[in-house]
Amino acid sequence: MKPLLRSLKVRSAKRQFVNSIEKMSANEIAALITDDFMVSEEWFVLKAQTIAKYGCTCMKCKKQIKRWTHINVDHIKPRKYFPHLKNDPNNLQILCGMCNKNKGNTTASYLPSENS
């Protein structure tokens, strides 16, 4: 990649990051910084187990997610309202970043049908 193009891409990524932070409320930023769960070893293992179980395809839009860091292991029932379900493997699903962002703190399951 040409250096100029790369530096433009980096700048664009930084701008997106800054934009997303600027749109957050002070409470959301505080929660992000103090959210030990998302950086815990427990969550890392749960995430790996969920990806091993379901694969790397977004369950909503069916997009293949190529990078580990782009895979969103989502809580079907959000942690915010159902904190007791945060470690429940049955409450987890695979989403891409966009689908997870659109879902936000709502409850929506895209798990494959359990009737099969």
Q: Which residues pair with 64 in a beta bridge?
A: 57
Encoded one letter per residue, x for contact with Zn ion by CB under 5 A and - for no contact, window 8-27 reads --------------------
| Least distance between Zn ion and beta carbon 56 (Å) | 11
For residue 51, count CB atoms less than 10 angstroms from its CB and return exposed for 0-12, middle for 13-18, buried for 19 or more.
Answer: middle
Among 10, 13, 61, 111, binds Zn ion (CB under 5 A): 61
Among 46, 60, 75, 78, binds Zn ion (CB under 5 A): 60
| Least distance between Zn ion and beta carbon 5 (Å) | 27
Task: Give dist(CA 103, CA 76) in Å, integer.
Answer: 9
Residues 77-106 that bind Zn ion (CB under 5 A): 96, 99
Q: What is the DSSP string of 16-60?
A: HHHHHHHTS-HHHHHHHHT--GGGSHHHHHHHHHHHHHH-SB-TT
Among 46, 58, 65, 92, binds Zn ion (CB under 5 A): 58
Binding site for Zn ion (CB under 5 A): 58, 60-61, 63, 96, 99
